[in-house]
């Protein structure tokens, strides 16, 4: 490929190097595994810079989902349950997984079916924000269930940034209207 992106065709390496020297550019092999290998006449420093920028952008947009934990007791009050549920919804909206854990004490360990019922109720209550990734299972004195978010972390982050930008624009608009009203009074 030529310096302007035009197709030069299949040429020998010596010819390609001569064309690159004439254009005062470099000969860069862009697809070594194809038959025949594809080389492009371009500025190699610019090529490396653009590749580094793409890699940097990909790393910045990459989001690692974390596992957040919400702990319950078997005998949880409704208000406490709702508080834990709101906390879990916030985690799921942020794109993180939620590990719901019930801690059993003493005689409570002989009634694991009550823990399963509570975790199933919890899963139903937050069904619009996440899906159950692993069913409730007994883990020693604890019963654990993992819930995955419906949207991934990068989607959630993009949505949150858009919401912040919208709120910022609304505040700016309100200040402008307020200052305009003050200017009209005087």
Cα separation, 165 vs 159, whole angstroms: 10
All residues at 6 or more sequence positions from 8 whose CB lies less than 8 Å from its CB, including other chains: 1, 2, 16, 19, 41
- Per residue in 163-182, pLDDT tens? 888 899 999 999 888 888 88
Q: What are phi and psi of 138, to 5 degrees?
A: -80, 135
- 1 assigned to some structural domain: no
Cα separation, 57 vs 105, whole angstroms: 49
Whether 96 and 140 map to the same domain: the answer is yes
- Per residue in 127-145, pLDDT tens? 888 888 888 888 888 889 9
**pLDDT per residue rounded down to tens, the chain (186 residues):** 676 667 777 777 788 788 788 878 888 777 777 787 778 888 888 888 888 988 888 777 666 667 888 888 888 888 998 999 999 988 888 888 899 898 888 888 888 888 888 889 988 888 888 888 888 888 888 889 999 888 776 677 777 788 888 899 999 999 888 888 888 886
Q: Which CATH number goes with the domain that contains 45?
A: 3.10.20.80
- 163 assigned to some structural domain: no
> Residue 160's pLDDT is what?
77
Residues in the chain: 186
> Residue 12's pLDDT is what?
79
Range of the domain at 29: 13-61
Rounded to two decimals, the pTM is 0.52
- 87 assigned to some structural domain: yes
> Residue 4's pLDDT is what?
66
Contact at 8 Å (CB) between 63 and 153?
Answer: yes
Q: Which CATH number goes with the domain that contains 77?
A: 3.30.110.10
Whether the bond into 23 is cis, omega within 30 of 0? no
- 170 assigned to some structural domain: no
From first CA to last CA, the distance across the chain in angstroms is 68
Contact at 8 Å (CB) between 129 and 149?
Answer: yes
> Residue 154's pLDDT is what?
67
- 85 assigned to some structural domain: yes
- 130 assigned to some structural domain: yes
Q: What's the number of domains the chain is made of?
A: 2
Whether 75 and 145 map to the same domain: the answer is yes
């Amino acid at each position: 490929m030529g310096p302007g992106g035009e197709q030069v065709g299949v040429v020998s390496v010596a010819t390609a190097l001569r064309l690159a020297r004439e254009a005062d550019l470099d000969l860069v092999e862009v697809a070594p595994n194809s038959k025949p290998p594809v080389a492009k006449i371009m500025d190699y420093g610019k090529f490396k810079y653009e590749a580094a920028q793409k890699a940097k952008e990909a790393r910045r947009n990459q989001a690692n989902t974390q596992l957040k934990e919400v702990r319950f007791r078997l005998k949880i009050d409704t208000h406490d349950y709702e508080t834990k549920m709101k906390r879990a919804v916030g985690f799921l909206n942020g794109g993180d997984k939620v590990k719901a854990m019930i801690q059993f004490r003493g005689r409570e360990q002989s009634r694991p079916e009550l823990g399963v019922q509570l975790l199933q109720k919890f899963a139903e209550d937050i069904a619009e924000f996440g899906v159950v990734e692993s069913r409730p299972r007994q883990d020693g004195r604890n019963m654990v269930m993992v819930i995955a978010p419906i949207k991934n972390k990068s989607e959630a982050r993009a949505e949150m940034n858009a919401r912040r930008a919208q709120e910022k624009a609304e505040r700016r608009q309100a200040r402008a209207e307020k200052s305009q009203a003050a200017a009209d009074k005087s």
